[in-house]
């Protein structure tokens, strides 16, 4: 099954359920910033996401400084958003209930 780019309506529906995420200005991508107790917690989060990403062959674009992690999700293969970004965002929300 080839990876499909989300339609505008699918994007709207997905973001309605991903309230902690927002669209990146000028790019079909979604972003979220997470703040943890300390670096140890932040890196533990990143480790869990990294294992998920490698298992699902879908990797985040992210920036970390100390206890803050800025995550951006998009699918290079479709130059936009796909179901893989929605599922990775859902996983991130589940493991980081803040
Ligand atoms: N991660 N975010 C993201 N987008 C992709 O298109 C992607 C990926 N990880 C691996 C991957 N694609 C492989 O299928 C190859 O295209 C590199």
13 CA distance to ligand 1 middle (Å):
23
| 40-57 confidence digits (pLDDT tens) | 999 999 999 999 999 999
Q: Which long-range contacts (CB under 8 A, 24 or more apart) does 7-16 make?
A: 11/81, 14/81, 14/86, 14/89
This model of the complex carries an ipTM of 0.93
| H or E element, residue 33 | strand 30-35
d(CA 3, CA 22): 22
The response to whether residue 82 sits with its C-beta less than 6 Å from ligand 1 reads no
The mean pLDDT value for 65-73 works out to 98
| 24-43 confidence digits (pLDDT tens) | 999 999 999 999 999 999 99
Among 55, 77, 82, which residue has the most ligand 1 atoms within 8 Å of its CB, making it the best to mutate? 77
Among 1, 27, 59, which residue has the most ligand 1 atoms within 8 Å of its CB, making it the best to mutate? 59
d(CA 38, CA 41): 6
Q: Is the pLDDT of residue 20 over 70?
A: yes
């Amino acid at each position: 099954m080839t990876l499909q780019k989300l339609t505008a309506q699918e994007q709207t529906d997905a973001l309605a359920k991903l309230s902690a995420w927002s669209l990146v200005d000028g790019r079909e991508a979604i972003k979220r910033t997470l703040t943890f107790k300390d670096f140890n917690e932040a890196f533990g989060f990143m480790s869990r996401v990294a294992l998920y990403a490698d298992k699902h062959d879908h990797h985040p674009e992210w920036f970390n400084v100390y206890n803050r992690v800025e995550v951006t999700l998009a699918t290079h293969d479709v130059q936009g958003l796909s179901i893989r970004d929605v599922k990775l965002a859902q996983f991130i929300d589940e493991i980081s209930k803040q």
